[in-house]
Homo-oligomer: A and B are copies of this chain.
Amino acid sequence: MATRPLRLALFGSGRIGQVHARNLAADPSIELAMIADPFIDGAQALAEATGSRAVQDPEEVFANTTLDGVIIGSPTNTHVDLMTRAAAKGLAVLCEKPIDLDLDTVLACREHLKDADAPIMLGFNRRFDPGFNAVNARVAAGEIGELEQLTIISRDPAPAPRSYLETSGGIFRDMTIHDLDMARFFVPDIVEVTAVGANLFSEDIKELGDYDSVVVTLRGSKGELISITNSRHCSYGYDQRLEAFGPNGMLEARNLTPTAVSKHSAEGTGQLDPIFNFFLERYADAYRLELQAFAEAIRTGASPKPGFADGLAALVLADAALESATNGKTVKVDRIW
């Protein structure tokens, strides 16, 4: 069946749904059969731009027997339901992170999914970033020896609106969770979490009882030390870097700039363009490659990575980080995933 394109449906026509829809439209080997969104106007506009079909009712997706899989880009509180139903139909699933903000809900979901053997992939897009992915592959290939330290710096350009922050689950579950998964991309077995949080600039975030800045230290099962530094704002763009350190060297993934043009003037030397300010631009390649990996997994029948267990693990670590920051104690993590 090499010649039949994959047939996928997309839930959600918002920001992230648009990214996926456009990437699907540019890939001749995949057909975007349907875009489902209760806000039918958005779905319609996106369907028109990408040669797809808009539907309002998710039932139309599940009723369609020609589909190979679904992409869940709808709000977080719909993830578990859509994922469970799609899996029950035997559809492959690519679900945006997080599975859910509540650990018990995720564990219950896992129970439900046990019998379905549908492949489930979690949308931790950063694993597919060419830079981070290359560092990971080179570490795995032994280029720097056994990993000893990993330093992740990750700062958002600006806090989300207060309305979003209220339901975000807090910085650890909403933002740090990406870095926790990145840590697990390098060191899957994390055994200890130590976190410190601060309120340095946002009154909104403070009022919500959340932190705007955190530093998290993880320990892997072989003793590896991982340091994550987060801020909810960053004047110079979307700061996304990491360094992997081992006995034979260090691999560093720096920020990306739109071009390799630099300016030399009386004000300074070698000034590159500002880095990307928006996650969709910064991770454009990552989203495209993530989709390819999902399609490849469907075609080959391989288990997609990162999977459900990775989504669960990241949430466990986020909860542990919150507990540590609250109590001023290192939290040991049971490997429940």
Residues of A within 8 A of B (CB): 25-28, 49-51, 130-131, 134-135, 138, 143-144, 146, 148-149, 151, 153, 155, 192, 194, 196, 198-201, 213-215, 217, 219, 222-225, 227, 229, 231, 233-237, 239, 243, 245, 247-275, 328-330
**How far does the alpha carbon of A270 sit from the alpha carbon of B26 in the complex, in Å?**
34
- Whether A233 touches B247, Cβ cut-off 8 Å, given contacts A196-B330, A274-B267, is yes
**How far does the alpha carbon of A199 sit from the alpha carbon of B219 in the complex, in Å?**
11
**How far does the alpha carbon of A50 sit from the alpha carbon of B148 in the complex, in Å?**
44
Determine if A265 and B50 form an interchain contact, defined as CB atoms under 8 angstroms apart: no
Please name the residue on chain B nearest to A49 by beta carbon.
B28
**Shortest Cβ-Cβ A-B pairs, 3 listed:** A249-B265, A328-B330, A271-B271
**How far does the alpha carbon of A329 sit from the alpha carbon of B331 in the complex, in Å?**
10
Please name the residue on chain B nearest to A258 by beta carbon.
B130
**How far does the alpha carbon of A239 sit from the alpha carbon of B245 in the complex, in Å?**
11
A217 to chain B, nearest CB (A): 5
Determine if A268 and B264 form an interchain contact, defined as CB atoms under 8 angstroms apart: no
Partner of A269, one of B28, B264, B273: B273
Please name the residue on chain B nearest to A236 by beta carbon.
B264
**Most B C-beta atoms less than 10 A away, residue of A28, A194, A264, A330:** A264
Determine if B265 and A236 form an interchain contact, defined as CB atoms under 8 angstroms apart: yes
> Which residues of B sit under 8 angstroms from A49, Cβ to Cβ?
28
> Which residues of B sit under 8 angstroms from A235, Cβ to Cβ?
247-249, 265-266
**How far does the alpha carbon of A153 sit from the alpha carbon of B215 in the complex, in Å?**
14
Determine if B223 and A149 form an interchain contact, defined as CB atoms under 8 angstroms apart: no
Please name the residue on chain B nearest to A131 by beta carbon.
B259
What are some 12 contacts across the A-B interface (CB < 8 A)?
A131-B260, A134-B258, A149-B213, A149-B215, A151-B151, A198-B225, A200-B222, A233-B247, A236-B265, A249-B263, A253-B261, A269-B275
Determine if B252 and A262 form an interchain contact, defined as CB atoms under 8 angstroms apart: yes
A318 to chain B, nearest CB (A): 18
> Which residues of B sit under 8 angstroms from A28, Cβ to Cβ?
25-26, 49-51
- Whether A272 touches B274, Cβ cut-off 8 Å, given contacts A260-B255, A329-B329, is no
**How far does the alpha carbon of A239 sit from the alpha carbon of B269 in the complex, in Å?**
11
**How far does the alpha carbon of A50 sit from the alpha carbon of B29 in the complex, in Å?**
10
Determine if A196 and B213 form an interchain contact, defined as CB atoms under 8 angstroms apart: no
A153 to chain B, nearest CB (A): 7
> Which residues of B sit under 8 angstroms from A243, Cβ to Cβ?
153
Determine if A270 and B267 form an interchain contact, defined as CB atoms under 8 angstroms apart: no
Instruction: Give 10 A-B pairs besides A249-B265, A265-B274, A266-B274 with Cβ atoms closer than 8 angstroms.
Output: A146-B200, A155-B245, A194-B328, A234-B245, A235-B265, A236-B250, A252-B264, A253-B261, A268-B268, A271-B271
